[in-house]
Structure 1
């Protein structure tokens, strides 16, 4: 009996020792890990931010492969299905029973003789099976080569597969939302690139050089901040020439957003520069003969790159909302360009929304995108200081 007890004690002792060794190994890993490794380990513990990152990746993949993912083309019209509600996907038919392949029924338009309102009802006498990797309308993938393969669709060219309904011209809303993601999401990325360049350059020069340079840049920031953002956006967007091509207007709006949006980042960079320019490593670089620009770009900015990443992540949704707001008000991108803001123009009329509420689907994608970027920014902000 005593021998058995002694063996159990030795087992517990070895288990406790193994646990202590594991903790020691973990502590050693933390001691020798870089700041980026510590940030990643802490970021992984933020479940909401991890989930948001996955959703954002899926949204950008949707924008990247919009031609293949869309069941039809954004300008394709189905004249007999104008303002049709979202199609219901069925697996059970009243005649044949359960079906392994999903299908949709045909829709017939009816007119109320009292109110003269047009409505759609399912015609169960005709059904359309849904196929994967179906051949449909021809498109040019990434502008490189022509193909007609779509992820899903109907073999009948004019069948009623409208998972999010149609607009007043009979165009599939899901297709237009997927195509609009490419414009709206890329707008946020390109806009933040110019904002990043202006904010880092002017904020770095302001904080590092000080003196008259700092005064001029800070007074310029004060001037831009004092102006109401949306009216200033509207004024600058309205000043764009009317004869510009959609691409020129797109780039012009990006410049407008960047010119106004760099001030916040510049203030953050200036504050960091003021605290770092007197550090020993900055003085060593100066004594080694490094130029001011090299000290700023090679030594100072990388030392707080984590904070810059957080600021950029939180600024992207603001840029997307800016494009959406201007396009919604008719001062930004215009049809036939397809963006989420342009799609929401048809949702301005309350009477239209009362009868066709599915026209608000683009707003749902905007809300989800902004929320996901905010969740991701919160996770990055917590991980930016991994020593807490």
Structure 2
């Protein structure tokens, strides 16, 4: 028993800190599952044009607010390949609301690799091949919105905006926070006082009001791509202050460590000391912080788009799609419009679980 414990201790001693961290991370089942969920969601976002059966602007005016179509394999007593039934539209004489009933006279087989609306595959070349669809009819797996646009297609393509706004925002805000926080903590003096006063001013404002105020600066006539970049810039500009303060404290602690003092005594430049000796020790902290900060960017973009101050048509995002479900009456009649909200919940929870797992894995004192 003692020999086995000794051999296990020797194996651990030969492992690098990164290998030990990965080993601790793999023991967290929720964190690993969340990582796989996020990897799948980003893969779907990358291939959304191919996976979506229709374009996000394609309108089927005769099918507004159509409920999701169920998949069948039995047509009467006959076993068939998976298919759906088309819908016949009627109008209620009392409420004047459109209702849809399955037309069981003609099954519509679901086929793979069908031709449809054109899209940019991986942003490189144009294609009109979609993963699935039907011929001589329509297939709306998750129903349609008030303009007859396929909700599944808009949700898939909208994930590109909702999931990437956090990555780009983190890249910008962390670059600002690391530089200003590092300079503030390393040099101190009047530079530290100036940067910290700016940080305190930014942190003194409530997040949502300043977010709304900055978003109103974005001109309404801007193209959709410019609006997207503007939203990312707004989220990044208010997201770096907290990180800068934490990085300052970390750098102030690290600059007094023996090996940093030795490097400075040997004549190393300030830039070399910061990049080679201080920042590498902050890498695990920054990775964990970035992972835990990503949900805030997703929720921030969703809130702005939901309130009409974020992503604009013809682009789409999960927050913009939720704008169609703003009242109880709509949700009661068309509950499938809440699907984008479910995607927000799943992605935010996955990031939080994975961030907690990374934080535990990066903790060198954990067992």
Alignment TM class, shorter chain as reference = over 0.9
Of 181-190 and 244-253, deviating more is 244-253
Of 192-201 and 136-145, deviating more is 136-145
8 A contact 2:31–2:354 mirrored in 1: yes
**Residues 45-94 of structure 1, C-alpha deviations (whole Å, 9 max, x = no match):** 00000000000000100111111111111111112211100111112222
1:243 positional shift: 2.7
**Residues 331-387 of structure 1, C-alpha deviations (whole Å, 9 max, x = no match):** 111111111111112112332222111111110101100000000001001101133
Of 219-228 and 47-56, deviating more is 219-228
Of 364-373 and 301-310, deviating more is 301-310
8 A contact 2:75–2:107 mirrored in 1: no
Structure 1 counterpart of 2:88: 108
RMSD: 1.4
CA distance in 2, matches of 1:43, 1:117: 53
1:166 positional shift: 0.1
DSSP 3-state at the match of 1:333: coil
Asked whether 1:270 is paired with 2:242, we answer no
Asked whether 1:358 is paired with 2:340, we answer no
Structure 2 counterpart of 1:128: 108
Of 131-140 and 200-209, deviating more is 131-140
8 A contact 1:340–1:363 mirrored in 2: yes
Structure 2, gaps ≥5 residues long? none
Alignment of 1:137-148 (within 5 A): 137-148=117-128
TM-score normalised according to structure 1 size: 0.91
Structure 1 counterpart of 2:226: 248
Of 75-84 and 371-380, deviating more is 75-84
For residue 180 of structure 1, the aligned residue among 147, 154, 158 is 158
What is the number of equivalent residue pairs in this alignment? 366
1:21 positional shift: 4.4
1:22 positional shift: 4.2
**Residues 81-137 of structure 1, C-alpha deviations (whole Å, 9 max, x = no match):** 1110011111222242x33x2111111122222222221111111211111222222
Structure 2 counterpart of 1:237: 215
For residue 49 of structure 2, the aligned residue among 64, 67, 79 is 67
Larger Rg: 1
CA distance in 2, matches of 1:386, 1:278: 20
Alignment of 1:160-239 (within 5 A): 160-239=138-217
1:146 positional shift: 2.4
**Residues 243-291 of structure 1, C-alpha deviations (whole Å, 9 max, x = no match):** 3222222112111111100122112211111211111111111122222
CA distance in 2, matches of 1:140, 1:174: 18
8 A contact 1:206–1:217 mirrored in 2: yes
DSSP 3-state at the match of 2:345: helix
Structure 2 counterpart of 1:56: 38
Structure 1, gaps ≥5 residues long? 1-15
8 A contact 1:84–1:170 mirrored in 2: yes
**Residues 276-326 of structure 1, C-alpha deviations (whole Å, 9 max, x = no match):** 111111111112222222212221111121111000001111011111111
8 A contact 2:110–2:134 mirrored in 1: yes
Compared CA separation, residues 143 and 38, structure 1 to 2 (3 A): closer
Structure 1 counterpart of 2:289: 311
Structure 2 counterpart of 1:371: 349
CA distance in 2, matches of 1:303, 1:176: 42
CA distance in 1, matches of 2:330, 2:103: 25
For residue 265 of structure 2, the aligned residue among 243, 265, 287 is 287
DSSP 3-state at the match of 1:107: strand
DSSP 3-state at the match of 1:122: strand
